[in-house]
Amino acid sequence: MTFQLIAMQLFSGLALGAVLIMVALGLSIIFGMLGIVNFAHGALFMVGAYAGLYIAGLTGSFWWALLLAPVLIGMFGMLIERFLIRPLYGRSPDDPLLLTFGLGYVLVEAVRIFFGTDGIPFSTPAALRGVVHLGFGVFPIYRIFVIGVVVAVLVCLWIGLEKTKFGLIVRAGSADPLIMRVLGVDISRLWLVVFGIGVGITALGGVLAAPMRNVSPEMGSLVLAEAFVVTVIGGMGSLPGAVIAGLVVGVSVSMTSLFAPEMATIVMFALMALILLVRPNGLYGRPAAGL
C-alpha cells in the first residue's frame, strides 16, 4: 500500500462524487423548490444517458450529445411537471411520490422495449482518451474532464441563484410561495422551469457517466439510491449539502473499495445512519417547523 495508490484512489473518489453531485443537485433543486421527492430521478438519469448515446450515434459527436441531451431531457421533465405532477399540487404529499415512483418503472420498461436489456458501451471521445500525470500518478483525462464539468455547473448554478433576478425569485418562492403569488409572480411557471433545470442537470450527469460504465436500463437504480443517500446526508433541499455530501460519499466508497472491497456498497448507508444519528436533518438541512 503506497502513498501513490492511496492518492489515486482518493482522486477516483472525487470523480465518483462529481457524478453523485450532479444527480443529488437535481433532487435537491426539485425538493427544495417544489417539495417533491422525485423517485423517477434515477430513471431520468438513465434516459439522459440513452439520449446522449442516441445523439452521439446520430451526429457522430460526443459534444453534441453533451449539449443537447440535457436540454431535451430537461424539456421532457417540464412536460412531466406540467401534465403529471402539477395536477397533484395541494393534495397529499404521497401522491407525487407514488406518481414519480411509477413513472420511473414506466421509463425503464420503455427503454427496454426500444433499446433492449443489454448494456451498450459509450465510447470516450478521442480528445479525452489517455491519461495525464498528476504528480502522484497517472489518471484518466476523461475523469478529470468530468470533475471540471461539475465544477463549471456548480459555478453557473451559484451565479444563477445568487446573482440574478431569477435566482432571487427562485429563493423567495422556495421560502414563501404564497407571498410571491400575492406579489404577482407566476409560481406555476417558476416551478415548471425549476423542475426542468433539475431534470436537465441529472440528464447531464447521465451523459457524463455513460463513458465510465455501460449504458443500461438498470443504471439509474443504484444511482438513485446513492443520490438519495447524498441528499439525506447533505440535508433535503440543501445545494451546499449535496455538494459536500457527494464528495464525502464518493471518497468514502472509493477508499473502502481499496481497503475492504466487500464493504464498498454498504459504507454509504452506514455513513448516512451515522450522520442522521448526530444530525437528524443532515449536514445542512433545516429543521422542520416546531422541532
What DSSP line would sit under the chain, residue for residue?
A: --HHHHHHHHHHHHHHHHHHHHHHHHHHHHHHHH----TTHHHHHHHHHHHHHHHHHHHS-HHHHHHHHHHHHHHHHHHHIIIIIGGGTTS-THHHHHHHHHHHHHHHHHHHHHH-SS-B--PPPGGG-SEEE-SSSEEEHHHHHHHHHHHHHHHHHHHHHHSSHHHHHHHHHHH-HHHHHHTT--HHHHHHHHHHHHHHHHHHHHHHHGGGS-B-TTHHHHHHHHHHHHHHHH-TT-HHHHHHHHHHHHHHHHHHHHH-GGGTTTHHHHHHHHHHHH-TT-SSPPPPTT-
Asked if pLDDT for residue 289 goes beyond 50, the answer is no
Within a domain: 280: no
pLDDT tens digit sequence for 88-125: 988 888 899 999 999 999 999 999 999 999 999 999 99
Within a domain: 247: no
| Residue 245: per-residue pLDDT | 93
| Residue 134: per-residue pLDDT | 75
Asked if pLDDT for residue 270 goes beyond 70, the answer is yes
| Residue 102 vs residue 11, higher pLDDT | 102
Within a domain: 211: yes
Confidence of residue 286 (pLDDT cuts 50, 70, 90): low
Within a domain: 88: yes
Number of domains making up the chain:
1
| Residue 61 vs residue 135, higher pLDDT | 61
pTM, 2 dp:
0.92
| Residue 290: per-residue pLDDT | 39
Within a domain: 226: no
Mode of pairing for the β-strands spanning 138-140 and 131-133: antiparallel
Mean pLDDT value of segment 45-51:
97
Asked if pLDDT for residue 252 goes beyond 50, the answer is yes
Within a domain: 250: no
Cα–chain-centroid distance for residue 226? Answer: 10
Q: Which range is most confident: 161-165, 220-224, 244-248?
A: 244-248
Within a domain: 229: no
pLDDT over 90 percentage in the chain: 55
| Residue 287: per-residue pLDDT | 61
Q: Which range is most confident: 261-265, 279-283, 284-288?
A: 279-283
- Indicate the range of 76-80, 81-85, 278-282 predicted with least confidence: 278-282
Cβ contact 215:119 at 8 Å:
yes
Mean pLDDT value of segment 242-249:
92
Asked if pLDDT for residue 174 goes beyond 90, the answer is no
Asked if pLDDT for residue 291 goes beyond 60, the answer is no
Give the whole-angstrom CA distance, residue 53 versus residue 70.
12
What is the residue range of 138's domain?
A: 13-217
Compute how many other C-beta atoms are within 10 angstroms of the C-beta atom of residue 88: 17
Within a domain: 180: yes
Q: Which residues contact 227 (CB under 8 A, 6 or more apart)?
A: 20, 23, 24, 26, 27, 41, 42, 45
Average pLDDT of the chain, as a whole number:
89
